[in-house]
Chain A
Amino acid sequence: MWEWRDEWAFVKSAIHEFEPFLFSNEIYWPLSFMREDNISPRFNPRLSAGRLEISIYLLEFYSSNDPQIQSTVAEGLARIQALKNQWKSNWSKKAALEFDVRLRQWQRVVREIRSHSISNAEYKNEVQVRLMLSFLEESAGDLQQTEEKSGLTALDQVLKVNSISSLFIWSKEIKDAFPSERFWFLYRTLE
């Protein structure tokens, strides 16, 4: 999970699809990957604003720690950032649109957490939705409704009550990318 090669393949593919995706009404957009990208066997995410933000964030982290990765991804990262800046307003709208959908998705997850019908292994995977919400909230900026933000606050409190603080739940390799104060939900174990 979260291998830099996978994330790099994702961003490269997203660069090609960025504008058609941005100007569509779609929240999810299919991507195709090259064989030479050498991605993990079951890696096949769809492009969405939230998923792309995770990839960019992780690649920035990987490249800041590894000059070799940096030389590989620098140009691509600059390109995707330039596209986001060029279409800043549209990007914010896209993020706001996805925020609503992800919030509903996260509501379902939290409901399952409350009813104890989700395991820690499942949580480890599902929590990426919460991570996307963090990034989408930033990207959407003022477009985000106050009501939706408070909806997320309520879900966070439910999650906290139904979990206890723990060590970082993803690979140690990327722990430093996610400080516990901001990304507290990656430091929780379900009760």
Chain B
Amino acid sequence: MKKLRWQLLIIFLTGLVVGILLISEQPENTPVIAPEPEQGGVYVEALVGGFQRLNPVLGFYNSSDQDVDRLIYSSLITFKELGIPQGDLAESWFVSQDGTIYNFSLRPDAKWQDGQPVVSEDIIFTINMLREGDGVVPEDIRKFWQEIDVKELSEDTIQFSLPEPFAPFLDYLSFGILPSHLLGGLSFVDLIDSSFNMQPVGSGPYRFGGLVVEDNQIKGVVLNANETYYGGAPFIDQIVFRYFDSSASAYAALKAGQVQGISSVDRSVLPDVLIDPQLSLFSAREPRLTMILFNLKNADVAFFQDREIRKAFMEGLNRQKIIDRVLGGQAIIADGPILPDTWAYYDGLKTIPFNSESAIETLKNNGYVVSGEQETVRSKEGLPLSFELLYPDDEEHRKIAELIQLDWEKLGAAVEIRAVAYQDLIQNHLETRDFQAVLVDQNLANTPDPDPYPFWDQVQATGGQDYSQWDNAVASDYLEQARVTPDLNARALLYRNFQIVFDEELPALPLFYPVYNYAISKQVNGVQIGPLFNSSDRFMTITKWFLTGPQKNVPTQTIIVGTPEVK
């Protein structure tokens, strides 16, 4: 009996040791139990920028207003992570077989924050405001809507008639909708000065709560959860935005415990934010592409017409060095004209690696040689590899242009760089095609549909935005077909083909996509940020955000509801 007890003890101790060993050997990535979402709390975010008007029709040029509008208003259509359209106020939509008629049904549960239902008339009123917004609404959007016939079929059904099939149409339906029952009698000019813009009523997840006014200046906006939001009431009860001039002042406010998030983290505070244990940093590709355009029709720089030479210039360019030195690493190397992480992006494109030896070899093989001992510039049949690179007149572009110049001079090219004021660059160089090479930023914000037609179709080479004047019939055919093909998969295939042709021909050199950085306290959970089409897209999942841990930030007593007294 005694002997048996002793054996049992051995078995027990062995099991205990094995158990302890197994527990200690568990992989480090053992799933962490996610905290349960909790209702309530206040999230205070520092917005880098200033307040103007909380009205989506008036806010196209103010990203801070767009951030707030995103929470107050809703739109017919929003876009999922890959830029795939999904209904917001729209419950469903149908497209006619010829692609010219779109019928939309509104959600029956969509209500304005004053309790009124959202109706077709609201959509029509907002579109009329867009049409009238000369100078305030971007010209392409304003003109686009002037060509579309909009008809109310019923209180909750609306019809759009297009003059011709246009597959990217849904892209134009992501604007915030205004309440016609509150604003219907106003003209666009009246709308600009309407008190509504200071006390807006929308149909989004948060309702306007008040303005934070200090020294008779608007310093912030308070939003309260919209309990009746058709998409489900948000977890966080209140969101307060406070305005700051710079990322640095916003970060100082964060360190002082005044805010829990920063809308835009620039390079001045990025190193601090990266090591801040209280913060989560979210980075996403911005909808912007920096590229070099060559003038393919300028006889003085006829070498740009040769794709082998264009490729040599790409190969001889150290893009990663530019990103690291000028942008502090905050950009992603670009391989083509369509934004990555969108449904239309073809991920089979190969990045052209930096290799100046190979670039020089290509130039030599194509007849560009240094003819004499005194010469440093390559030439072919008397035409030197010499040209001027224009760039927008600011510090960042100057540094980029200087690095490009250095790289290309190593190839044996003579590159003059010249700064030109942005407006001058567009009006007097790009639009007139008066340039040899130019460094530009292509802004693709607000356009989740990838349609590259305006920039690369041959029709645009003479009067449009195909500033390089790339005249490629095959690429244009893909773009034109994609424009009239409603099926997303079929369009994706056409854009894949376009990107392959672009990659082969390289009519311009894509350099990089800048990265957007957003910092937020680790107390805020549920945040998800995908590739952005607009910085306000960071709020795409706002209703799922929730707070954990002790709450330090509460709205200040300076909050008032209503319009501040005008000086």
B52 proximity list for chain A (CB < 8 A): 161-162, 191
- Chain B interface helix/strand/loop/mixed: loop
> How far is the CB of A142 from the nearest CB of chain B, in Å?
22
A156 CA / B217 CA spacing, docked (Å): 24
A166 CA / B61 CA spacing, docked (Å): 22
Q: Give the residue among A114, A116, A162 with the most B Cβ atoms within 10 A.
A: A162
B50 proximity list for chain A (CB < 8 A): 116, 191
Considering the complex, which residues of chain B in the window 514-567 have a beta carbon less than 8 Å from any beta carbon of chain A?
566-567
Interface mask (B23-50 → A, CB under 8 Å = 1, otherwise 0): 0000000000000000000000000001
Contact A156 B135 (CB under 8 A): yes
Considering the complex, which residues of chain A in the window 139-186 have a beta carbon less than 8 Å from any beta carbon of chain B?
150, 153-158, 160-162, 164-167
B133 proximity list for chain A (CB < 8 A): 157
Query: Does A16 sit within 8 A of B, measured CB to CB?
Result: no
Contact of A157 among B53, B188, B423, B566 (CB under 8 A): B188
Query: Does B192 sit within 8 A of A, measured CB to CB?
Result: yes
Contact of A167 among B61, B189, B567 (CB under 8 A): B567
Contact B135 A153 (CB under 8 A): yes
Given contacts A161-B52, A161-B53, A167-B567, contact A154 B193 (CB under 8 A): no
Q: Using a Cβ–Cβ cut-off of 8 Å, how many residues does chain A contribute to the interface with B?
A: 19
A11 CA / B52 CA spacing, docked (Å): 41
Interface mask (B165-200 → A, CB under 8 Å = 1, otherwise 0): 000000000000000000000001100110000000
> How far is the CB of B220 from the nearest CB of chain A, in Å?
15
A11 CA / B517 CA spacing, docked (Å): 59
> How far is the CB of B366 from the nearest CB of chain A, in Å?
44
Query: Does B317 sit within 8 A of A, measured CB to CB?
Result: no
B192 proximity list for chain A (CB < 8 A): 157, 160-161
Query: Does B281 sit within 8 A of A, measured CB to CB?
Result: no
Given contacts A111-B423, A189-B567, A191-B52, contact A161 B134 (CB under 8 A): no
Contact B189 A157 (CB under 8 A): yes
> How far is the CB of B63 from the nearest CB of chain A, in Å?
13
A189 CA / B52 CA spacing, docked (Å): 12
B135 proximity list for chain A (CB < 8 A): 153-158
Given contacts A114-B61, A164-B566, contact A153 B134 (CB under 8 A): yes
> How far is the CB of B379 from the nearest CB of chain A, in Å?
42
A155 CA / B423 CA spacing, docked (Å): 16
A162 CA / B134 CA spacing, docked (Å): 14
A156 proximity list for chain B (CB < 8 A): 135, 189
> How far is the CB of A134 from the nearest CB of chain B, in Å?
16
Contact A154 B566 (CB under 8 A): no
Q: Give the residue among A111, A160, A161 with the most B Cβ atoms within 10 A.
A: A161
Query: Does B82 sit within 8 A of A, measured CB to CB?
Result: no
Contact B134 A157 (CB under 8 A): yes
Contact of B58 among A116, A150, A161 (CB under 8 A): A161
B189 proximity list for chain A (CB < 8 A): 156-157, 160
Query: Does B136 sit within 8 A of A, measured CB to CB?
Result: yes
A155 CA / B134 CA spacing, docked (Å): 8
Contact B134 A166 (CB under 8 A): no
When C-beta atoms are compared, the residue in chain A nearest to B135 turns out to be: A154
> How far is the CB of A107 from the nearest CB of chain B, in Å?
9
Interface mask (B110-136 → A, CB under 8 Å = 1, otherwise 0): 000000000000000000000001111
Q: Give the residue among B58, B61, B192, B567 with the most A Cβ atoms within 10 A.
A: B192
A162 proximity list for chain B (CB < 8 A): 52
Q: Give the residue among A111, A116, A157, A162 with the most B Cβ atoms within 10 A.
A: A157
> How far is the CB of B415 from the nearest CB of chain A, in Å?
30
A158 proximity list for chain B (CB < 8 A): 135-136
Contact A154 B134 (CB under 8 A): yes
Q: Give the residue among B50, B135, B566 with the most A Cβ atoms within 10 A.
A: B135
> How far is the CB of A179 from the nearest CB of chain B, in Å?
17
B193 proximity list for chain A (CB < 8 A): 160, 164-165
A158 CA / B53 CA spacing, docked (Å): 13
Contact A150 B566 (CB under 8 A): no
A191 proximity list for chain B (CB < 8 A): 50-52
> How far is the CB of A117 from the nearest CB of chain B, in Å?
12
A-B contact pairs, 23 of them (CB 8 A): A111-B423, A116-B50, A150-B134, A153-B134, A153-B135, A154-B134, A154-B136, A155-B135, A156-B189, A157-B133, A157-B135, A157-B192, A158-B136, A160-B189, A160-B192, A161-B53, A161-B58, A161-B136, A162-B52, A164-B566, A189-B566, A191-B50, A191-B52
8 nearest A-B residue pairs (beta carbon):
A154-B135, A154-B134, A158-B135, A160-B192, A157-B135, A157-B136, A161-B136, A161-B58
Given contacts A154-B134, A161-B136, A161-B192, 11 further A-B contacts (CB under 8 A): A111-B423, A116-B50, A150-B134, A154-B136, A161-B53, A161-B58, A162-B52, A164-B193, A165-B193, A166-B567, A189-B566
